[in-house]
Amino acid sequence: MTQPTVLLLTPMLPVTRAALDDRFDLVALADAEDKEARLAKVADRVRAIAMFADGRVDGALMNRLPKLEIVSVFGVGYDGVDAAEAARRGILVTNTPDVLTDEVADTAMALTIMTVRRLGAAERYLRAGQWTAKGPFPLTPGSLVGATMGILGLGRIGRAVAARASAFGLKIAYHGRSRQDVPYAYYDSPAALAEASDILMIATPGGAETRHLVDADVLKALGSRGYLVNIGRGSTVDETALAAALEAGTIAGAGLDVFAEEPQVPEALLGRDDVVLLPHVASASLPTRTAMGQLMVDNLSAWFESGRVLTPVPETPRP
């Protein structure tokens, strides 16, 4: 029996790529010196796309793949896929929720502590010999004790962050598209949530609906004692407004694991001790990334074996 042809659009973990190669006729576009030539050669037989979350699948690519049935994304975010267009064409889109929730929530709390207590700057102070030369590291203006964390986006990851933050003794508030049956205070706008929060945690998906959801007005509402932490999507924050708010002292600091144009990070953020910057590592442990890859592969296998998938995204049909 001929194996279905799967187009590997982006580089992938070796263990995940091996699993794809074992089950499918895998065409690795990322490896090709002449990507256009390789795509043209296989376009009429491609039935699936496998891709890391930073890949791009739009209507133009779908037009070139007449037999495309499914796009399986490695990651929770799938804003690189035009899911609405895929749905219009009857093409399924899947992602990899749940298996990374705990890892990302753990990183969110670590990033929060690093940001509020300026632990990155403290480590650099020690390594530079400043402890012995200048004495103790300056007292940090912020603390988690008695603080309120406002969570922007109370989905799977947002709820997991809330559980951890509650265990730390933080009060929890949230904003989302709708009120949920949870024991946390609800605010009807990002600005209202920011005004009520000491720490504003972003856990929203990306895409046009959330682009620059955190803008200058929201940062002003967060205030000079407030901290912004983003483990969602870089596009949610107006980075120009953020840099200006930090420079002016409008907010106290920021912790960012994601950026609008990765791997590019705004130059205005790089030299600041009131900002903690991570290179999009919230889910980046080998066990978690292996589990994510396996779920991506399992979605493809389930589709070709049974005509069903395990984790379809909401926009596309669920067989």
Measured CA distances, 305 to 110, 164, 257, 294, 309 (Å): 41, 39, 37, 16, 10
Identify the active-site residue in 64, 225, 262, 308.
262
Instruction: Write down the catalytic residue from 175, 233, 239, 289.
Output: 233
Q: Which of 23, 212, 280, 315 is catalytic?
A: 280
- Determine the CATH number of domain 5-99+287-306: 3.40.50.720
* Token duo for residue 203: 């856990």
Q: What is the pLDDT of residue 319?
A: 58
Q: Which pairs count as long-range contacts for 216-220, CB under 8 Å and 24+ apart, including other chains?
A: 216/241, 216/244, 216/245, 217/191, 218/190, 218/191, 218/194, 219/194, 219/245, 219/250, 219/251, 220/245, 220/250
Residue 104 CB contacts under 8 Å (≥ 6 apart), including other chains = 157, 160, 231, 282, 283
Q: How many other C-beta atoms are found inside a 10 Å radius of the C-beta of residue 249?
A: 9
Give yes or no: 212 in active site: no
Domain extents in the chain: 5-99+287-306, 101-277
- For residue 34 the two structure tokens come to 């002449």
Sign of the alpha-carbon dihedral angle for 113, 118, 124, 130: negative
The residue written with tokens 């796309």 in the block is 49
Each residue's pLDDT, cut to its tens digit, for the chain (319 residues) gives: 689 999 999 999 999 999 999 999 999 998 999 999 999 999 999 999 999 998 999 999 999 999 999 999 999 999 999 999 999 999 999 999 999 999 999 999 999 999 999 999 999 999 999 999 999 999 999 999 999 999 999 999 999 999 999 999 999 999 999 999 999 999 999 999 999 999 999 999 988 889 999 999 999 999 999 999 999 999 999 999 999 999 999 999 999 999 999 999 999 999 999 999 999 999 999 999 999 999 999 999 999 999 999 999 999 866 5
**Is there a catalytic annotation at residue 262?**
yes
Q: Residue 233 catalytic?
A: yes
Q: What is the pLDDT of residue 316?
A: 83
Cut 0.85: pTM above it: yes
- Domain at 101-277: CATH architecture: 3-Layer(aba) Sandwich (3.40)
